Structure 1
Amino acid sequence: MKKSLIYLFSLLCMLTLVTSCSDDEKGGTDDAWKEISKDYTSDKLSIGTVSTSGTISVNAASADKATIILNNVVAGESSVSVDATLTKTDAGYAFEGESTATTCNVKVSGTIENGKLTAAISRTLTSALAGTLNLNYVPYVNDMQIAQAHAYFDTGDAQMDAMLNGMAAPVVGQLIAKEVESVTVNLGEEGTFSFSFKKVGASEETVMPPAKLQEMIKSYLTWYEKENVLYLAVHKDALTILSGLNILPENIDLETILGLLTVEGDYYTIPLQVKEEDGLTTIYLNKDILVKAWEVAKPLVGNIQDETIQSILAMVDQVMAKAKEIEFGLVFKK
């Protein structure tokens, strides 16, 4: 009887040892989670269809918890820290978490397997601009409706400023109203954007980019807003593609276009100033970008053989050179 008990006890010990070894082989009790704590860049990092020059850092606290830091990966955010859960997989770990950043709420999920981090990142923008903006039309003389434009000039010449500030916005508003009866800007909370317009007398709206392209290019175009600046952003990958298509005018090259833009992480952006007042949203360009844009546009329009146009161009050139401050844009309502 005693020998039987000894044999039974020995058998139980062996089974326990085998089970323990088996668990270790499966990674259930090992310290493999410690090895994933590092910075992932370049060929060790994938965030979908676009490339990134940014970094994703992983700081694992245990086998089921980690802090994921997105550095220059999320549009509009230099760094986003996410508390994530870890789950063991056959080849490594899966992770998932979400966080509130400056411009948006961020969700991230993915895997760390065979030394490579693959992530899917989604944003929900928290800006009050998200939604549909319609160009505002206001009454003018003789029952005329004109588009509401915004213009402000400070050249240091009181007479010139009075003329420009009194005439520029109504003239532009009339020109727009003669051509289009509506303009709509759609700023999706997930980061997509598009605009549409309906020409006077047309039966349908023209949408840009066309609906059939929106899904294809949504990874390359986005927007965000912070500190009263609306940034329209294009991913660097898109401009690389554009440079190979040879579709720019003869005297305009890609470097000239890039000179108009601001670099923010993986994106080139156009910063648009925003003012909100009395239920209306004014979106406009300031002097810095207007002067740059004028230098690009001037060669394109300078050879037009029309005295009236040439006199207007000469005045614009003078204003751009003298102006201390310029604001020019359009007024929208939701």
Structure 2
Amino acid sequence: MKKNLFYLFALICSMGLFTACSDDDDDKSCPVPQTEFTAANGLKLNYNGEQMLGKKVTFTPDASDPTKATLILSGNLDLSGALTSKADNQSIGAGVLPGSPVVTLPVTLKIQNGECSFDGTSETTYCTFSYAGKVSTTEMQLDLTNVTLKNSALAGTTWVPNPFDPYEDDQTPIHLVWDAEKKATIEIFPGYESEMPISFIINMAMHMDLIDMGEGEKTTVPAMLCNVLKSITLGADGNISASYVDAAQGGTEAVNTPANVAQYVLLDDSHMKVYLNLDAILASVAKAASINTKGVDMGTVLAQAMEVLLPLVTDGVPLTYVKSEGKLTAYLDTELLLPILKGIVAPMFADEEFVAGLIEMMKADPDFGSMAGMAEGLLKSLSEIINTTSRVEIGLKLNAQ
């Protein structure tokens, strides 16, 4: 009898041992399959303490080592079927970390109670960072902290628009250069025409009071820019923030842009890339698509524009910059602008019906009607001006705060 009790006791102990071993094996197995996490299905992503939207993190466990996994961080702009077939089935948009559309991050997992956690430090071509997170079958929390640009030449600097003085050529917040062989024939006064370079015409137009401020007041484009844009700050973590007055919505006090809406990296001492807020880009495209124009298929135009602009959304907008003695000039240069002007804008203005429609719209507008005669010659010759352009630059002139 005692022997039977001993065997029974041994059997119970051995079963408990096997059960414990089985539990240990379960704890060591990653409970989360390969999953693509977005805000729609449980992704909570923070960048230096601030929420970051519009991104995607793909979690892939290692098939041969249950303590290893890979995170792929990327943009999450879905343009399937919109404007261009090249957008189909692609992850489009600026990446999570500035300068890197896609970041592959190997992590070591700690597995407990059906959840995996991980932490560590890493780097990309342009920045260093720390990370910590946890993932289950239903959600992922990922915190990126201590994100710091490797090239910090502009990090932590704040800039304000160069003041505008209509009587001083260099006192403007707008940088504009446009050199073209073809000049525009414009009507200065009724019955009097003159040929002028397009850069002179645009500068002249920007110095006119054309923008309606309400209550009978009007202002110029540079003055409006100075009134609206108060400052731009380039953060050490790659974020760009701006202080501005939302005059379009009736605002009178300066407000700050939300975190993580725009990022930048410096490529060298004179070139940078800026990564723009994707929602703002889509809103602008949707607004443009609603314009009713004559003679031009705007759907086709927008499709052509997106073919050019989509790479800029993911890979960043290249800017040339010059920093000297408390001044910063940043602008889009000829290499970027001229193909866009020749491929998209010039064909539009080569269409006589389209140009005629624009002139009719200007004549009907009380603010621009007086300029219709002067603008007619420019609009009709703009296509040829673009096709003879050798240099074109547009951007901002800023001063250190």
Same fold (TM over 0.5): yes
Q: Which has the higher contact order (CA 8 A, sep 6+)?
A: 2
Q: Which amino acid aligns with 1:68?
A: L
Q: Which amino acid aligns with 1:96?
A: D
Change (3 A) 1:203 1:119: closer
Q: CA deviation at 1:323?
A: 1.0
1:307 aligns to what? 373
Confirm or deny: 8 A CA contact 1:106 1:122 kept in the other structure. yes
Residues 1:280 and 2:283 aligned together? no
Residues 1:259 and 2:262 aligned together? no
Change (3 A) 1:247 1:67: closer
Confirm or deny: 8 A CA contact 2:275 2:315 kept in the other structure. yes
Q: Which amino acid aligns with 1:91?
A: G
Confirm or deny: 8 A CA contact 1:153 1:325 kept in the other structure. yes
The secondary structure found in structure 2 opposite 1:147 is coil
Residues paired across the two proteins, number: 311
Change (3 A) 1:42 1:64: closer
1:327 aligns to what? 393
Alpha-carbon deviations, 1:55-92, whole Å to 9, x = none?
44444885655453436672442432334342213224
Change (3 A) 1:12 1:192: farther
Alpha-carbon deviations, 1:19-46, whole Å to 9, x = none?
5632532547x6514x76x754489975
Percent of aligned pairs with the same amino acid: 14
Residues 1:136 and 2:123 aligned together? no
What pairs up with 1:1-334 in 2 under 5 angstroms? Answer: 15=13, 18-19=16-17, 21-27=19-25, 31-33=28-30, 40-41=35-36, 47-48=43-44, 55-59=58-62, 64-70=67-73, 74-75=95-96, 76-114=99-137, 118-120=140-142, 122=144, 124=147, 126=149, 128=152, 129=154, 131-137=157-163, 141=167, 146-156=171-181, 164=197, 167=200, 171=204, 174=207, 175-182=220-227, 183=229, 184-187=231-234, 189=237, 191=239, 193-194=241-242, 196=244, 204-205=252-253, 221-225=261-265, 227=267, 228-235=271-278, 239=282, 243=286, 248-251=290-293, 256=302, 259=305, 262-264=309-311, 267=313, 271-278=317-324, 279-285=326-332, 286-291=337-342, 294=345, 301-303=358-360, 304-305=362-363, 306-314=372-380, 316-334=382-400
Q: Which amino acid aligns with 2:23?
A: E
Q: Which amino acid aligns with 2:397?
A: V
Q: CA deviation at 1:271?
A: 1.9
Confirm or deny: 8 A CA contact 1:233 1:270 kept in the other structure. yes
RMSD value, Cα: 5.1
Confirm or deny: 8 A CA contact 2:56 2:73 kept in the other structure. no
Alpha-carbon separation, structure 2, partners of 1:98 and 1:193? 26
Alpha-carbon separation, structure 1, partners of 2:70 and 2:358? 54
Q: CA deviation at 1:151?
A: 2.8
| More strand as a share of residues | 1
Unmatched 5+ residue regions in structure 2?
45-51, 77-94, 186-195, 208-219, 364-371
